[in-house]
Amino acid sequence: MATTAAAMAATSVVVLDRGNNTTCTINLHGATVVSWRVNNQEQLFVSKLASFDGKKAIRGGIPFVFPQFGAWSFGPQHGFARITRWHLERPPDRLHNGDVEAIFSLMDNDFTRSIWNYQFRITYRLILREKELHFHIGVYNPSKELSFTFNMLLHTYLKVPDVRRCQITGLQGCHFIDKTRENALYQEGREVVTVNEWTDRIYQHTPQEHVITNVVSGRKMRLHKYNFPDTVIWNPWIDRSREMSDFGDDEFPNMLCVEAGNVTSPVILLPGTAFEASQILQQFKCPYTIDPSSWKKNYLTNFLQYD
94 is annotated as contributing to ligand binding: no
C-alpha torsion angle, residues 7, 9, 12, 14 (rounded to 10): 80
Catalytic residue (one of 29, 78, 136, 155) = 155
Q: How far apart are CA 228 and CA 207, in angstroms?
A: 9
Q: Classify each residue of 102-139 as buried b or exposed e, where b means 16 or more C-beta atoms within 10 Å of its C-beta.
A: bbbbbebeeebeeebebbbbbbbbbbbbebbbbbbbbb
CA distances from 40 to 20, 22, 37, 131, 222 (A): 8, 6, 5, 11, 19
> Residue 175 is which amino acid?
H
Q: pLDDT tens, 165-217?
A: 999 999 999 999 999 999 999 999 999 999 999 999 999 999 999 999 999 98
Annotated active-site residue 259? The verdict is yes
Residue 162: phi and psi, rounded to 5, are -160, 110
Q: Is residue 295 predicted with pLDDT exceeding 70?
A: no
Q: pLDDT grade, residue 297 (50/70/90)?
A: very low
pLDDT tens profile 49-85 = 999 999 999 999 999 999 999 999 999 999 999 999 9
pLDDT digit string, tens, across residues 122-157: 999 999 999 999 999 999 999 999 999 999 999 999
Which residues have CB under 8 Å from 139's CB, separation 6+?
66, 120, 121, 122, 150, 152, 267, 269, 274, 275, 276
82 marked ligand binding residue: yes
Neighbour tally for 81: CB within 10 Å: 25
Of the chain, the percentage scoring pLDDT greater than 90 comes to 88
Which structural domains are found in the chain, ordered by start? 2-285 (2.70.98.10)
Told to judge if 155 belongs to the known catalytic residues of this protein, a careful annotator would answer yes
For residue 88, give the nearest of 162, 199, 7 by alpha carbon.
7
Q: How confident is the model at residue 306 (pLDDT cuts 50, 70, 90)?
A: very low
Q: Are 45 and 158 in contact (CB under 8 A)?
A: yes
Catalytic residue among 101, 132, 251, 259: 259
The DSSP H or E segment spanning 115 is: helix 110-115
* 202 vs 266: CA distance, rounded Å: 14
Q: Is 305 annotated as a binding residue?
A: no
Residues 6+ away with beta carbon under 8 Å from 236 = 198, 243, 244, 247, 252
